Structure 1
Amino acid sequence: MKLIQAEKKDIPLIQDLARRSWENAYAEILSTDQMEYMLEEMYSEAEIGSHLEHPDYHYYMIQDENSGSYEGFIGYQHHYEEGTTKLHRIYLVPESKGKGFGKEALQFLNHQVSENGDSRIILNVNKFNAAKNFYESQGYSVYGDGVFDIGNGFVMDDYLMEFLIHK
């Protein structure tokens, strides 16, 4: 696996990987209308572009070194809260799951967080998303939950999870 820092030219690829991942991960969880709304809002060129311009927000493309194909991406923000990095996005296309890419990406994130002085990683995961089990297998634990209004009559019903970096 190779992680490649994303640039503005990668926005269409990020959008494609997000759609392919979401259509698999959320098909049984979200309505088509909510999925389309969220993809349009969260993965618009303007939204991703603003993230890429933010000095603490980073996107990395996950590439399979053997095939050269892009398997997913990770997006996170250092210093989201004091001492805390927020993992905003980690998505893999369906055919790449179970190959260790997610685990390696989280190990990379742990290293980046330590290097940048934070000691905690937080994330939100949909309460019905099987990814919760993956995060728990990597040492994350639930510290709360919440229902978040995202507009257009839609909400996100999430667990709040954290991972503590031991220095």
Structure 2
Amino acid sequence: MRVDTATRDDVEAIRDVARASWEHDYPDILSSESLQAGVDEWYSTDSIRDSVDWPRASVLVARVDGTVVGFVHAVFDTDRDEGNVLRLYVEPEYRDAGVGRALLEAVRDELFDRGAERLRAMVLAANDPGNAFYEHLGFELDGESEVGVGGETYTEHTYVLEPDTE
């Protein structure tokens, strides 16, 4: 497995990983309408392309034999000197193989090297594996908020990692 900076050539593969992950992870959490609308809205080709091109964003992909099997999308908030992990997904068949950890560690290192004083990550509260993932990697629950997905509202947890807690 190799972790690389995403390019425009990776946009469709990122969309595919996102769709497969949402369909695997969220059928008992999101309505089918919210699931479809959320994927279409959050992972539109234009949205991913813009993120790949935006200098304050970091979009990394994990490849196995040249195929994208996971991605992480984060941004550096210069006003608050913090990195925000917006999305991290791994193809279901590649989970528990260290792909998510490798992606998170790579983006963590990049954002701390850019000057982030802490790293924040958001995950739906009902996504038990996602919450456990961040907790296992040293993140601490910092709060919760509401997020809209496909016209419906869901609770989202925010986790925080300080550089000295790695």
Output the amino acid matched with 1:71: V
Partner Cα separation in structure 2 for residue 53 and residue 157 of structure 1? 30
SS of the counterpart of 1:72?
Answer: strand
Q: How many residue pairs end up in the alignment?
A: 164
Could you list the per-position Cα deviations for residues 86-109 of structure 1 after superposition, in whole angstroms to 9, with x for gaps in the alignment?
Answer: 001110011001001111222112
Q: In structure 1, what is the equivalent of residue 74 of structure 2?
A: 76
| RMSD value, Cα | 1.6
Partner Cα separation in structure 1 for residue 48 and residue 68 of structure 2? 18
Partner Cα separation in structure 2 for residue 109 and residue 139 of structure 1? 15
Trace 1:81-160 onto structure 2 (pairs within 5 A).
81-129=79-127, 130-150=129-149, 153-160=151-158
Partner Cα separation in structure 1 for residue 12 and residue 133 of structure 2? 27
**Distance change >3 Å, CA 88–CA 136, structure 1 → 2:** same
Q: Is the 8 A contact 1:61 1:74 kept in 2?
A: yes
Deviation at 1:36, TM superposition (A): 0.6
Deviation at 1:80, TM superposition (A): 5.8
Deviation at 1:83, TM superposition (A): 1.5
Q: In structure 2, what is the equivalent of residue 27 of structure 1?
A: 27
TM-score normalized with structure 1 length: 0.91
TM-score normalized with structure 2 length: 0.91
SS of the counterpart of 1:166?
Answer: helix
Structure 1 unaligned runs (5+)? none
Partner Cα separation in structure 2 for residue 38 and residue 54 of structure 1? 22
Output the amino acid matched with 2:53: E
Deviation at 1:46, TM superposition (A): 1.5
SS of the counterpart of 2:12?
Answer: helix
Deviation at 1:162, TM superposition (A): 0.8
**Distance change >3 Å, CA 80–CA 33, structure 1 → 2:** farther
